[in-house]
Chain A
């Protein structure tokens, strides 16, 4: 299936959509914080969601995740990484919060 031709095709549409979505989400997050639209905890969740959405947008439109032919090694390794990342972050934060509470007060 793979030839010697580089199979990277510049998609102007993809880049443009990705750029616009990213700008919108960045602005939305920025103004949520500067205009203090919500309470502290809610703000954290809202900008967290914006960050996640923007990351998805960039993964899809800039990095073309999921658009490779079978076998989808890039997609598989990406989701494996996200799993490990989640375990590390959630695990570390849970453990360290617990330790800080019990050992540092």
Chain B
């Protein structure tokens, strides 16, 4: 009742386009971090390079987990129909689990590096690595929290137009993070490994 009167203009498509434009700006943010990584990735300052540090099977697992998470988020229905609610929670639940698993793996990789004396202070290469991959991980973390914050009112009061709109934004965000990961996997891990 309140959402309908929320504006005289079409707020659903405006919000979605606004969020999409924000995602475009986030792409430029990642571009800057990517460009910096590529410029600095050989500056190992006597320390290890990607070839010595990266475990490709590990990165492949992370890639698969995030891909499934992205796909299942796309499968969650956003409908005002009460019957669709179960499916929504099911698919978003899997999205969350696989996303969280990705994060756990990534944090364990970071911990392994730090404990081996190869933290972000070791060299420009490692600073760039931790920042690029870490910024992506930070986005994932915020996404997971955001998912919970969005789904709590849906759990309590059912789906509303407002929740649909916000969850739709979340989906765009989540898909976009997987597209960014494609390039992290390729440029950082695959290209770094030989």
Measured CB to CB, the residues of A under 8 A from B are: 2, 4, 6-8, 10, 12, 14-15, 18-19, 22-23, 26, 29-30, 33-34, 36, 40, 43-44, 47-48, 50-51, 54-55, 58-59, 62-63, 73-74, 77-78, 80-81, 84-85, 88-89, 92-93, 96, 100
Contact = CB atoms under 8 A, between A and B. Distances in A.
Contacts, number: 122
Nearest to A92: B35
Interface residues of B, number: 51
A12 B176 CA distance: 19
27 contacts: A2-B13, A4-B3, A4-B4, A4-B12, A6-B78, A6-B80, A6-B164, A8-B171, A10-B75, A10-B77, A14-B74, A15-B71, A18-B74, A26-B63, A33-B193, A51-B185, A51-B187, A55-B179, A58-B178, A63-B179, A77-B24, A78-B24, A81-B24, A81-B27, A85-B28, A88-B32, A96-B39
A62 B175 contact: yes
A84 to B, nearest CB: 6
Interface in B55-101: 56, 60, 63-64, 67-68, 70-71, 74-80
B79 A6 contact: yes
Interface of B: 3-4, 10, 12-13, 17, 20-21, 24, 27-28, 31-32, 34-35, 38-39, 56, 60, 63-64, 67-68, 70-71, 74-80, 161, 164-165, 168, 171-172, 175-176, 178-179, 182-183, 185-187, 190-191, 193-194
A88 B33 CA distance: 11
Contacts of B31: 84-85, 88-89
